[in-house]
Amino acid sequence: MRILYANKYYYLKGGSERVLFTEIELMKSRGHTTAIFASHHPRNEPSEFSDFFAEEENYFNANLAHKAKATVKIVYSLETLQKFGEVIDAFKPDLIHAHNIYTQLSTAVLDAAAKRRIPVVLTAHDYKLVCPSCMMLDRGKICEKCIDGRYIHCFLTGCHKESRVASAVYTVESYFNAWFKKYDSVKKFICPSDFIKSKLAHRFPESRMTILANPVDLSSYDPAFEDDGYYLFTGRLSKEKGVLTLIQTFKELGLPLKIAGTGPLEAECRGMAAGSSNIELVGYRTGKDLEALFQGARACVVPSEWYENAPLAVIEPLGYAKPVIAARIGGIPELMRDGESGYLFNAFDPEDLKGKVRQLHGLSTGDYAALCRKAREWALAQFSPQRHYEGLMSIYQEALSKN
């Protein structure tokens, strides 16, 4: 099979790109031929079609004249329509798999495919299909005002980056895609969680959606069934990740906490942690440094305060045989078994978080080791690349049969 992937970036920018790269390697390793279409970026991996990539747009750091040009492209990119069409004609795919195409590429990707009668499947990594701002958040609080197609609320609240102008752009984009039925050509929407499927069901029939967990090759992770006694947070230091709640909770608990990551709240986090010898912000870590942090942790904490879809922050620790203490919100509960791979606590409830941390901290050596083993065993089966490949091939074949 020849599969053409489309994603706005072709480097490991975030979780969606991790899924993209894993899927490409899965397909290649099993004899399929793949290609990629993206936007230009200096960190992109090499690609045979990079000369056809769309120009990257940076709306928020542009001057007024360029912002006007970027606004049009965000809503609909004629450049993408032409260039992606050229890639399709050159590569001749059997199927197109779109990931994050918004902002840099636009739904012109879907039109170029439809014009050539190439079936498309699309993975919903976030809530863009029902929320112009994609996160269903308004100034750090859960918001579902746009979910039934009333996108004007994005503009009225100015929720996207707390900017009325930016929110207006994304409001227009959402209405444009809805009014002109840009998603009608998508054969299947791939939902990494049942939770996101339930939200997309406000706009699309369930027959066009299917659930497929994101793939992670946890078999290559080196597990550690012992620990150095500290708790670990990894990720972006931003309000929706619940990091401020986490710091306050551990200040009161007095237990060791390491925070790995950077983000807009880094200065505020450091200020909150100042004077608390049990809390350490270790900055952005990757590779062996991050692996060592996972291996030494007693548990990882995911205190999210937004509708997480399928965060790797929950999945990856399980590969290292580390239990997870995570908020019961969004798709998170689908990624673990409460009491068997860690503990769930009620989101926005610091007291419940404290209780779950104390519960795990008080486990005997034997009970803790058993919990670690169960966590890893379950995750290895649940998120295996082979399981993802089989699910993906079933989706691809169904899309081809409907074309």
- For residue 403, the tally of other CB atoms under 10 A from its CB is 11
What single letter denotes the amino acid at residue 79?
E
Dist. CA 300–CA 342, nearest whole Å: 9
8 Å CB contact between 84 and 108: yes
What single letter denotes the amino acid at residue 261?
G
8 Å CB contact between 260 and 289: no
Residue 352: predicted pLDDT: 98
Residue 192: predicted pLDDT: 97
Query: Which residues is 54 bridged to in the sheet?
Result: 39
8 Å CB contact between 323 and 359: no
Residue 342: name the closest of 369, 383, 372, 312 by CA: 372
C-alpha dihedral sign at 181, 186, 187, 191: negative
CA distances (Å), origin 254, targets 97, 150, 172, 251, 358: 48, 46, 48, 5, 11
Q: Which residue has the tokens 């798709």?
A: 331
pTM of this structure: 0.93
Residue 343: name the closest of 286, 387, 390, 299 by CA: 299
**All structural domains of the chain:** 2-129+183-215+384-401 (3.40.50.2000), 136-173 (no CATH), 218-382 (3.40.50.2000)
Token reading at 258: 């390491």
- For residue 361, the tally of other CB atoms under 10 A from its CB is 14
Residue 72: predicted pLDDT: 86
Residue 61: predicted pLDDT: 62
Give the dihedral of Cα atoms 346, 350, 356, 359; nearest 10 deg: -150
* Residue-by-residue pLDDT tens, the chain, 403 positions: 999 999 999 999 888 999 999 999 999 999 999 999 999 999 999 999 999 999 987 655 656 666 677 788 899 999 999 999 999 999 999 999 999 999 889 999 999 999 999 999 999 999 999 999 999 999 989 999 999 999 999 999 999 989 998 899 999 999 999 999 999 999 999 999 999 999 999 999 999 999 999 999 999 999 999 999 999 999 999 999 999 999 999 999 999 999 999 999 999 999 999 999 999 999 999 999 999 999 999 999 999 999 999 999 999 999 999 999 999 999 999 999 999 999 999 999 999 999 999 999 999 999 999 999 999 999 999 999 999 999 999 999 999 998 7
Residue 60: predicted pLDDT: 58
Dist. CA 364–CA 92, nearest whole Å: 59
Residue 14: predicted pLDDT: 85
Residue 70: predicted pLDDT: 77
Residue 244: predicted pLDDT: 96
Token reading at 314: 């929950």
